[in-house]
Amino acid sequence: MLEAWQAAGIYDEQIFDEERIIATSAPTRRSTHPQRLVDDIEVMNAGMNINIKDGIILSYGDSLYRGGDAEPKDVDVHKAFCDTLEEEFSAHFADFMKPFDSNPPSNGQLVMDHSGEQFQSADASTFGDSRYIFHDHCTENAKITSCMIANDCQWDLDLKDYSTGPLPAIFRFMLTASPDNDLISNMVDHGWDYMSNMIITDDDTDGDDVGRYLHRNLIENVPGTVSPVKAWFAFAQVPYGGSFALEPVWKFEVEMENNWYEAAVTVHAPYRIVSVVDWVSDSHPLPKKPEAGSGASYNVFKWGLNDPEAGERSIEKEHFDALASPLGWHSIPVSDVSGRVSTVKNTTTTWGNNIIAHENWEGKDAWEDNYRPDAGAQLTFDYIYNPKVTDGSEDAMIEAKKYINASITQLFYTSNLFHDLFYRYGFDEVAGNFQHHNFGRGGKGDDAVIVNAQDGSGFNNANFATPPDGQNGRCRMYLWNTANPYRDGDLEAGIVIHELGHGLSTRLTGGPANSACLVFGEAGGMGEGWGDFLATTIRSTKNYSDYPMGAWAANTPRGIRNFPYSLDTTVNPSTYKTLDKPSYWAVHATGEVWAEMLWVVSHRLIAKHGFSETLFPPAPLSDGTIPEGDFYRPAEYTLSGKRKPLIPKHGNSLMVQLVVNAMKLQPCNPSFFDARDAIINADMVLTGGENLCELWQGFAERGLGPNARVIGRMPWGGGFHIDDFSIPRIHGVNTVTEIRLAQIHEKSA
């Protein structure tokens, strides 16, 4: 079986003509992260990663140096960084202040305007600590660099007297790294004393990496540190002439009270800081939520009731998830101009951090001033829904508008639960979810979903627009004139979930910055199919049933698709070859086939693992730990004691997890085959592939076996589709299963 270190050697021989040493850091059977050596000297930021599973290379990449010999270069990486930061900071600041050119904010604090609820803020993910980073590490640092170049610093030590050795470099670094202004002043005034007090010794540590610890020193008594600084000579890759060059540097490991830096400083004056990595990951503290009673309540069709025919409305509490919505659904963090001091704005309407819900009877793009119900200080969203039969369409519209408060409330409630649910399955800030404020957890903010209830731009439909991360998603929900009184799409959870599912699949497929990965062909169809599958899974219960899509709103038992979603091939005969039919060339019909396949696969997992009554994982404990409860399998740990990702123990929750994980693995514009393989790979990563047989059996049952193919495929679809009901011979699976699957379809043909 191929080991990771063996794969690294093979990779190295294929990339480089001449033999060079690879120093591997703690290689395992699964992965290795080799370092490049030049003349037996480490090259920083020049490595590769290779991930191995069962002797197969899953992924690899490298940043290896491919240039010539090392020599000092007139390259100031730090200055280049500061120039870029200054440009970005200035641009963000200018954009941020535009709305206030004629009406400056008072005291630097921005709040929601009560008349129109127009809201502006500088979110930490957009503006953040740029101002402080620039001041501390660029403005002040430039002063030190400038005087060192000119050799006119106002201190009693000339660092150029130390032309060799790491002392002037570490002294220079600490002048920038220390957060203690008094210490910096003392270092400037008494530099000679500090330098004379430093002691260099050899590090006797036995190196476990080839060449890494050659000629390594320890520097004791470095001001501002809590342990001896480790120092050794190395090379660093720096941008030079459109490519990269090697810069001789001193590499340091500097442990301080609140930071632990890996730094590189040039060996020659003015001792430029080439790179810095802080091994300590700062956790952004959440702003404290102001007192707001016991939370909101909503008179709604509770989560799991698909539409008004599925059950009665009830008073439901604001059941937000503490991880996904740490301040609840009606509280929005507000950052001041500095980006540091945050307050929280509580709203009493349906304007929150995740969702902004309102009417849009005019059907236009304006939304800030649209009507929203105000539930008052108690946040009691309790409104009447009792539509009456009318004499005509004009009266039917008037009747529908009477219960707009109930419609907006239902839309806000369903949409927030969707946000919180899929946050727990991995659609978080980094993955590109929709939130106004991202709590310093990555991704781009300022993109809560704008949801329009009773949108006046159409009837009998709904849509969702998904721009790249950092821009608001837009969801339009329509009235349906299929009955008297009109039916309201806001009240059919399946339609709302389907539309929100577009935001999920579009942001995850190809990454949150690319919204063009599910546009046409099979990819566009699967964008529709995932929405149907998730909506159907959410409404399903332990007692199996077939489910149509949009049946209540459309006022027809069959719903808005060709067939209900069913395990029975006489009820839903869809297979991969069904896509040959002209009526299936459109994305919604293509999506039906994909959703049916997922429905069948999901029930293979349910048959094996059982059914969970809830798809919501347990709430985190007070220390942030996620308990297994009856939702997850017992936690597993790596050899180093790190907790592995928890695995849902039931089939329906496991399938949702695999679908979300697979979206992140599949390529841009995936085919059915790509998406199928991504789900299989997702299971391989999460469970070690224990469901490989069930997954193949489910896909093969609907014609997407390993030998399924398309003849004459065009980028936008088309071609001649060929079913395959066989499955690979895995884990002793024999031809009995293959024959049984084929017989089932012969009988239903």
On the question of a cis peptide bond just before residue 333, with omega within 30 degrees of 0, the verdict is: no
Give the predicted TM-score (pTM) of the model: 0.65
CATH-assigned architecture of domain 297-515: Roll (3.10)
Taking residues 219-238, report their average pLDDT.
Answer: 88
Residue 135 is assigned to a ligand binding site: no
What would the pLDDT profile of 493-545 be if each residue is shown by its tens digit?
999 999 999 999 999 999 999 888 998 899 999 999 999 999 999 999 999 99
Q: Give the domain ranges of the chain.
A: 4-62, 77-278, 297-515, 519-749
Residue 33 is assigned to a ligand binding site: no
Tell me which DSSP letter residue 266 carries: E
CA distance 166 to 146: 20
Residue 282 is assigned to a ligand binding site: yes
The confidence score (pLDDT) of residue 116 equals 32
Percent of the chain scoring above 90 in pLDDT: 52
Q: What does the H/E/C string look like for 150-208?
A: HCCCCCCCCHHHCCCCCHHHHHHHHHHHCCCHHHHHHHHHCHHHHHHHCEEEECCCCCC
Is residue 690 predicted with pLDDT exceeding 70?
yes
417 versus 176: the higher-pLDDT residue is 417
Give the class (CATH, top level) of 519-749. Answer: mainly alpha
Is residue 390 predicted with pLDDT exceeding 60?
yes
Is residue 117 predicted with pLDDT exceeding 80?
no
What would the pLDDT profile of 589-620 be if each residue is shown by its tens digit?
999 999 999 999 999 999 999 999 999 999 98
Catalytic machinery residues: 499
The confidence score (pLDDT) of residue 216 equals 77
What would the pLDDT profile of 232-245 be if each residue is shown by its tens digit?
888 887 766 666 77
DSSP H or E stretch at residue 298 = strand 297-300
CA distance 729 to 526: 28
pLDDT range class, residue 650, cuts 50, 70, 90: very high
Is residue 73 predicted with pLDDT exceeding 70?
no
Q: Give the range among 341-350, 499-508, 655-664 with minimum mean pLDDT.
A: 341-350
Residue 54 is assigned to a ligand binding site: no
Q: What is the DSSP secondary-structure string of 609-650?
A: H---S--SPPPP-TTSPPP-TTTBPPP-B-TTSPBPPP-BSS
Q: Give the range among 7-11, 441-445, 550-554, 719-723 with minimum mean pLDDT.
A: 7-11
